[in-house]
Amino acid sequence: MALLALGGGGAYVLAERASDAVEVIAMMADVPRGHVISEHDLTTASAMPDPALAPIPASRIPEIVGQRAAADLSRGSLLTDGSVTTQMLPAAGETVVGVAVTEAQLPTEPITPGSRVRIFDTPNAGDDPPDTTPDSIAASVVSVTSEATTGHIVVNVLVRSNVAGDLVARVATGRVGIVLDSLEDGGDGL
């Protein structure tokens, strides 16, 4: 009898929690960063309210349609306000540059979209260390991918358009290193 009562109480708690679930917006398809989101890209899902996640309520679908993906969005992921933007990416005066590096040219701490980084010039292998601090270019990370064919990691970074050519030329030499900066230093990484 006690087991039946306990089982019934557990079922009641589960049913009560299920009734607390809310309808939120989820991705029905993979959508790349910058893509204009259509109604066909979206679906709804039930989720337990969690202030740490803050998914967008399903009632806001009409508001989300027509906005752009702020990052690559994966099928099945829940949308948050940070997932979408009304701005064109890259914005006027900004450029996205791919920086291909090896693991040795990156910190072991994760570099994720939104991370603030600087890309430094590095000397040729075997050269003496420079006497002065090498030049660097500040950037914000857009995405990070691994290239299986080359073994490189490509860090796509957002930089000011006026330094994009400098960065592309530096990356072409293969003599660059990426450092991860603190978000507490302020600014946007550019």
Among 85, 112, 145, which residue terminates a domain?
85
Same domain for 103 and 52: no
Q: Is this model's pTM higher than 0.75 or not?
A: no
* 58: helix, strand or coil: helix
User: What count of other Cβ atoms lies within 10 Å of the Cβ of residue 22?
Assistant: 15
Instruction: Rounding to the nearest 10 degrees, give the CA dihedral for residues 187, 51, 112, 130.
Output: 40
Do 33 and 65 share a structural domain?
A: yes
Last residue of a domain, one of 62, 85, 108: 85
In tens digits, the chain (190 residues) has pLDDT values of: 554 555 555 555 554 555 688 999 999 999 987 889 999 999 999 988 777 778 999 999 999 999 988 888 999 999 988 888 887 778 889 999 999 999 999 999 988 888 899 999 998 888 888 899 899 999 998 888 888 888 899 999 999 999 999 999 999 999 999 999 987 765 445 5
